[in-house]
Amino acid sequence: MAMAMARFMRMGSARMGLALLLVFFLTATYAPLFASEVAIIWWDDQGLRFPLLADLLNRNSYEKPHHLLFNVLGLLLPAYVIGWWVLGRWRKTPVTTRIMLLVAVQVLAMFLAWLPLAPSGGEFSERRALWDERRTTSHTWRNHRALVAEDPEVQIFALYPLVRHNYTSNFYSYQSPGTINPDTDRRFWWGTDDRGQDVFARMIFGSRISLTIGVVAVGISMFIGIILGATSGYFGGWVDLFIQRLVEIMMAFPTFILVLVVVAMWGRDIYLMMIVFGLTGWAGTTRLVRGEFLAQSGREYVLAAEALGLRTSRIMFRHVLPNTLTPLMISAAFGMAGMVLAESGLAFIGMGDDSVPSWGSLLDVGRQQVAYAWLIWIPGLAIFGLVSSLNLLGNAMREALDPRNEE
């Protein structure tokens, strides 16, 4: 594995894909630092404050739950990097254990943000969570302008994000890139869409949707595919026949059409789309895992484990499954790229979730108004860049992990 990782890191395509993916990941994680009306630093006669940090756990500002995931991740990311290095250098902790520890910390932090601990009012009032019903911060550019207009001598130092526009704020429709917004005296660096929303802000926060749907949908499909594929390949016989008929039935249905039917029946919620993509995308993973288990189930180490009387589940998931992870990692990379394209395509035809910023919905606006070319090129290049980075990583992993490749 060490030799394969060394080959992987020496590949130019792998380094390029990792760099592109890192850019998208950091952009999604620290999106509020790029586009927000809330000040990063606010210094007045009452002292120094950091309103944006407090606003990260405010559901009034970030309505969808995936924002909590990214905002908590942004707060803890420096600690994660230091902890990863310390565990690797000091304790020599395996990579899988380190990943599990970081995921556990992330889940615990999100649970504490949801936990109703903070009092919402009087002494006997119902207690609420940080993420529940916090009041929107007053340290915004709107209040800043009002304070200065009311008292020109007021002394306030405020440092705002790069773009002083929320992705939900409506201003002036179809403003060209570089146009100055008279309300904020700031530029629309990438113009505005049909609803007057800043394209830069929507693109930045749209990266969260693309990454979330890729991870969640692929995670669901991989989980189902691993369980069914392992069962089918290890037991064989009528179990294998039954599961493979289910796989063939699932592959006979056009996934995109099935998603359209579900969305038309139950609404265009982004999380429903993630679940549907995951529940309909496991057939290929099942066949892949089945083939790997068929190849591994007759090996000596499996026969030795069975002779020792180990539990079937332990043999399947503790001994056989780790030897099948190589094709699964490659499949996951390509699967994420496919999910990003599927969500963008769904939004492009007008069936996406209107309550979230999506790159596909911006493409749809550009398709309807071809004169505003920036609404086509900007989201189109972003989708191309993210999908290309995932495909580059998938191809690089396939070449690096191929045992036939020489050093």
Tens digit of each residue's pLDDT (9 = 90 or more) over 212-236? 988 999 999 999 999 999 888 888 8
Q: What is the pLDDT of residue 124?
A: 43
Query: 144 lies in a domain?
Result: no
Q: What percent of the chain has pLDDT over 90?
A: 14
Q: What is the pLDDT of residue 76?
A: 92
- Phi and psi at 139, nearest 5°, equal -90, 65
Q: What is the pLDDT of residue 128?
A: 67
At 173-182, the pLDDT tens digits run 888 888 888 8
Query: 378 lies in a domain?
Result: yes
Q: Kindly state the helix (H) or strand (E) to which residue 159 belongs, with its residue range.
A: strand 157-159
Say whether pLDDT at 252 is over 70. yes
| CA distances for 289 relative to 221, 252, 275, angstroms | 12, 19, 21
Q: What is the pLDDT of residue 99?
A: 85
User: Which of 42-80 are b and which e, b meaning 16 or more Cβ less than 10 Å from the residue's Cβ?
Assistant: beeeeeebebbeebbbbbebbebebbbbbbbbbeebeee
Angle between helices 199-235 and 374-400 (to 10 degrees): 30
Query: 285 lies in a domain?
Result: yes
Q: What is the pLDDT of residue 133?
A: 64
Q: What is the pLDDT of residue 126?
A: 58
Q: What percent of the chain has pLDDT over 70?
A: 91
Q: Which of 146, 144, 116 is nearest to 131 (CA)?
A: 116
> What residues make up the domain containing 365?
200-400
* Mean pLDDT on 199-219: 91
Q: What is the pLDDT of residue 117?
A: 66
Query: 34 lies in a domain?
Result: no
Query: 338 lies in a domain?
Result: yes
Query: 35 lies in a domain?
Result: no
Spatial CB neighbours of 146, under 8 Å, sequence gap ≥ 6: none
At 120-131, the pLDDT tens digits run 555 445 566 777
* Mean pLDDT on 244-268: 82
At 42-101, the pLDDT tens digits run 887 778 888 888 888 888 888 888 898 999 999 999 999 998 888 877 767 777 788 888
Query: 248 lies in a domain?
Result: yes
Q: Which of 19-28, 145-154, 188-197, 325-334 has the highest mean pLDDT?
A: 19-28
At 138-170, the pLDDT tens digits run 777 777 777 766 666 667 788 888 888 888 888
The domain that holds 248 is classified in CATH as: 1.10.3720.10
- Phi and psi at 42, nearest 5°, equal -135, 120
Say whether pLDDT at 402 is over 80. no
Strand partners, 186: 181
At 325-338, the pLDDT tens digits run 878 888 888 889 88
Query: 84 lies in a domain?
Result: no
Q: Which residue has the higher pLDDT, 145 or 340?
A: 340
Q: Kindly state the helix (H) or strand (E) to which residue 84 belongs, with its residue range.
A: helix 65-86
Q: Which of 76-80, 277-281, 355-359 has the highest mean pLDDT?
A: 76-80
pTM for the full model? 0.86
Number of structural domains the chain divides into: 1
What is the average pLDDT value for the chain, to the nearest integer?
A: 83
